[in-house]
Amino acid sequence: MDWPEGLGVLALDYPAYPQPELTRGTNKYFDNDFLTVLLQDHIGGLQMLHQNQWVDVHPTCGDLLISNDKYISVEHIVLTNKVGQRVSVPCFFGTDSMTSPKIYGQISELLLEDSPPKYHTTTVKDYSELSRPRPS
């Protein structure tokens, strides 16, 4: 899967802000890599879109948030707050390039005869274009 080449690790620091209602930590986005693991602190600020409402994701210090095939990423944002500095460390496992012509698919050695492939083969670019949320 070329994960070592496509591993991205960010250390994000959201400082306390005296008027958090006037700014946002990030715009809305979703993770479209193969796997995302997030270590967050106890401050909070992560929200996810659920039934057209932004809902707080209450942090438990030391917990890992994971999105992959089973736990699919939803649109989310990060808010600033006046309580204190927020730190999060997401690790993104993807591929090394949006322009690579490499075709990705399921590992044939792991497929069973009575269980056909669940996904089609694709390039990173095509996958990213198909997995983007569409305006409603």
CATH number assigned to the domain with residue range 3-96, chosen from the 4 options 3.30.70.270, 2.60.120.10, 2.60.40.420, 2.120.10.10: 2.60.120.10
Contact call for residues 35 and 68 (beta carbons, < 8 A)? yes
Which of 84, 64, 73 shows the shortest CA–CA distance to 33? 73
CA-nearest of 52, 35, 48 to 75 is 48
Reference 36, options 100, 87, 89, 75; nearest CA is 89
Residue ranges of domains in the chain: 3-96
Tell me the mean pLDDT in the region 101-126: 79
Give pLDDT tens digits for 119-135: 788 887 787 777 665 55
Residue-wise pLDDT tens digits, 26-59: 788 777 676 778 877 778 788 888 899 999 888 7
